[in-house]
Amino acid sequence: MSSPENESMQKCIKSLKMHKVKLLVRTCEKTYDEQPIKDADIEIHDNQFPDGQLPSIDDIKKWLATVDEFFTDEIDGQFPNSPDQGIINIKQKIIEIKTSKIMKFDNERRIGVHCEAGFEGAPFFVALALVNNGCTPSNAIELIRQRRPGALNITQANYILEFKGISKINKSQGNANSGWKCIIF
């Protein structure tokens, strides 16, 4: 999504709440007052990198850790005490969710990501998260470009096509996490 503006903040907040966004990640320079968003019980994370460029590997790791922690927190109700325990809890909970065919976490909260215009930084981060959670790189790019024609420059698209994932949890195509959904607006 493109960056919110102070003049249309209430409309933006209404859209975020309608899409059940509980965490908003900013990939560009701050250009608006955050307080109305925070007052709407939406957390804001900053993960800036220059528009049109690739973020550093540290920025990518920070983003993917944010995604993993956001959904791990929802699945477990708390952060795991140890990495091994977290992996076991997540795998057990995913099996329970898949078995019951109820994806509670998808229905209750989502992550919103925005950059300046909504065509480079935000789509790039969303594509990385999709690939890191089991989507093929080409499908991630196609999904994003269906919703945001012109999104992702050639450098970003090539990076996504070569991206293998760097999550702590070993995720592969077709695993339980591949059922997670995103909304692009």
For residues 100-135, one letter each, b for 16 or more C-beta atoms within 10 angstroms of the residue's C-beta and e for the rest, the string is: eeeeebbeebbbbbbbbbbbbbbbbbbbbbbbbbbb
Provide the residue range defining the domain that includes 150: 6-179
Q: How sure is the predictor about 182, in pLDDT bands with cuts at 50, 70 and 90?
A: low
Beta-carbon contacts of residue 126 (< 8 Å; ≥ 6 apart): 113, 140, 144, 182, 184
The verdict on residue 184 lying in a domain is no
Distance CA 52, CA 22 (A): 26
The verdict on residue 38 lying in a domain is yes
CATH number for the domain that contains residue 54: 3.90.190.10
**What is the predicted pLDDT for the residue at 97?**
44
Distance CA 113, CA 47 (A): 10
The verdict on residue 69 lying in a domain is yes
**What is the predicted pLDDT for the residue at 119?**
77
Give tens-digit pLDDT for 81-113: 444 444 455 545 445 544 443 344 455 778 989
Give tens-digit pLDDT for 1-32: 767 777 788 888 998 899 899 999 988 888 88
The verdict on residue 1 lying in a domain is no
Model pTM?
0.72
Residue 175: pLDDT above 60? no
The verdict on residue 50 lying in a domain is yes
Domain count of the chain? 1
